[in-house]
Amino acid sequence: MKSLKLFFLVCGLVLVLTQLASAIDKPYEGISADELMKIKYYIKHTKFAQDYQSTGHVWLITKGGFKRHRKFLRSRITLNRKSDGIDYKDVVAFTEPRNVKGLAILTWTYSDPKKEQDAWLWLPSLRKIRRISQSQADDSFMGTDFTTEEITIRRWEDETYEIIGNKKFEGYHSEFTGKTYYEGLDCYLVEAKPKRKDWYYSKRIVWINKNTGASIFDEIYDTLGRKARTIFREYQEYEKGYLPQTLLECKNLRTGHRTIITFDEI
C-alpha cells in the first residue's frame, strides 16, 4: 500500500468535506432526454453524497468459464470548488492479487464542461505515473471489458441524447449470480451518440428506470452499427433515495468474455 499512498500524495488527492449531500431528483412526465441523462450521471457519479468509498471484487471470466479475480477500493470526493474549478476527484485501485496490487487510476473532473478531465495511471511495478489522454479513453479499463471512459471519464456533455421510446425491461439474467433482475420494469429508452468523431462506438441504447432515473442496461453498438457489448447495473436504495451501484456486468458479445464487479462495502 506504500505505492498507493505515494500515488495519492503525488497527485494531490485530498479528501475534505465541502458540501452537504442532497436528495436525488426523479424523472417526471414530459422530461427531456438531456434532463433525464443529467439525473443518470448524478447517480452514476454519486453526486448525492459529499464523498463515496467502496471495496469490492472484479471477476474476469472467459467464454469457457475460466476466472481471474481482483480486489479493489474506490474513493470519490465531491468538491465543487471555485478556486480551481474541480468538481470531483475519483480514484480506483487494485489491492489484490500481488501482481496488480497498487495499480490505480486517478481522475479530476472539472465543473467547466469545456475543460477536459485530467487522469493519471499509477504503475507500481515501474513506480511511474502515466498521464491518460482523452484519446485513450477507449482503452480497456485495467484489463476489463469496460473502457476507461465507461468507468471514470465519460461525462454528460460528451454525448447527444434522444428518448426513442418507453418499454418494459425484459429482465437481465446474470450467469454469475444466477438471478434475474428488473423483469417488467418500466423504462425510458435513450439513444446516446458520442460527440467525438471516429469514436469506438456509434451509439448506446440506454435503459433508464422510470422511477429513479438510474441506467440499468446499456446496449453498445460499434462503428458499423453492430451490437458489440452490453452493460448491466444493479443498485441498492438507501435513505433519501441514494442509489449506489452494487453489481456491474459487462459482456463482449463477440468473444463471450465477461467482467463482473461486485461490492463488499459502500
Model confidence pLDDT, tens digit, residues 121-153 = 999 988 999 998 877 788 898 899 999 889 887
Domain ranges of the chain: 32-265
Instruction: Express each pLDDT in 190-240 by its tens digit.
Output: 999 999 998 999 999 999 999 999 999 999 999 999 999 999 999 988 766
Confidence (pLDDT) at 232: 98
pTM, entire model: 0.84
pLDDT at residue number 77: 85
- Half-sphere exposure in the Cβ direction for 240 (13 Å, CA): 13
Half-sphere exposure of residue 28: CA atoms within 13 angstroms, side-chain side: 4
Q: Rounded to whole angstroms, how far apart are CA atoms 263 and 96? A: 14
Picking from 94, 224, 236, the residue whose alpha carbon sits closest to that of residue 151 is 94
CA 191 to chain CA centroid, nearest Å: 18
Return the higher-pLDDT residue of 20 and 228.
228
CATH number for the domain running over 32-265: 2.50.20.10
CB 122 within 8 A of CB 104: yes
Q: Reduced to 3 states, what is the DSSP secondary structure of residue 36?
A: helix
